[in-house]
Amino acid sequence: MAAGQFRISPGVALALQAEHPTVVLESTVISHGLPFPDNYDIARQCETAIRDEGVVPATVGVINGVLRVGLTDAEIHLLATHEGVRKVSRRDLGIVLARGEHGGTTVAATMIAAHKAGIAVFTTGGIGGVHRGDAGDVSADLQELGRTPVVVVCAGAKSILDLPRTLEYLETMGVPVLGLRTDTFPAFYASSSGLPVDQRVESVDEAAAVIQAHWRLGLRTGVVLAVPPPVELALAPEALETAVRSAVDAAEQEGISGKALTPFLLERISVLTEGRSKAVNLALLEQNARTAARLAVVLAQKDEP
């Protein structure tokens, strides 16, 4: 990647130089995950939540063909409102950089940017995974977790996915899945999928100890820290599964696939749950941001990976 195609904002650069705790945030939730103004508002709220913990936020995105770590308010607003923003994963980075396009970065692309910048903690809503059915649709997020040493704080994987196969894939890639005060893997909108995590941890301090032990062994994979959504907003698993199945059936009937599938399913689930799923989504995004910031503070007090 040419030097001019990758930039760290001055504020983030100063924080890194001073070894100040820093957290990255992805931008597909801004460009493709939520409608305006919810997308812009939650992006700013997550950055504020991180700052409230004494940590520097660094939202990642592609602006005019430059992969940027640390976006301005104007750049976040652009990604939230511009119609031509591309959804950018690992395979798309070279394309959007060469063409000078705008892009919202997925978990995979954001992990690449975070690692290149030297930032080890990343907050998001939910990771991608193995899609339901037999099409072999596997998110690039899972392979990125298998080769990039960044801890991803999330509410598990999106409920629209095949969660058992997603966890099996992470196991194959050697990615530890930790549950913060939970024995089971969250299902994004629901507190539990009923599937066990690799290890329950009671605090970010305990999580940091596991993460550092993993990396000190030279195991250069990512780590998932799964945080259940706020219990007062979480959907009942049975009602959620009914909505997911209905949304999946609708997507099949309308021939929706590829990059258009996840936004379609999330919007349909929001309609089916009368907006409750969106409320959970917004709440867990902010909660995850705060958790990631607290984890970054602890990790900054320990040895670098």
Positions marked active-site: 26, 158
Which residue is listed with tokens 């104007």?
Answer: 74
Q: Is the peptide bond before 263 cis (omega within 30 degrees of 0)?
A: no
Per the CB < 8 A criterion, the answer to whether 178 and 198 are in contact is yes
Separation between Cα atoms, residue 115 and residue 1, nearest integer Å: 14
Amino acid at 256: I
SS3 189: coil
Query: If you ran DSSP here, which 8-state letter would residue 161 be given?
Result: B
User: Of 278, 259, 252, which is closest to residue 267 (Cα–Cα)?
Assistant: 278
Give, for 292, the enclosing helix (H) or strand (E): helix 276-300
SS3 206: helix
Which residue is listed with tokens 């995850």?
Answer: 288
**How far does CA 276 lie from the centroid of its chain?**
20
Query: What dihedral do alpha carbons 211, 290, 26, 212 form, nearest 10°?
Result: -10
Per the CB < 8 A criterion, the answer to whether 226 and 155 are in contact is yes
Per the CB < 8 A criterion, the answer to whether 151 and 304 are in contact is no
Neighbours of 255 (CB within 10 A): 7
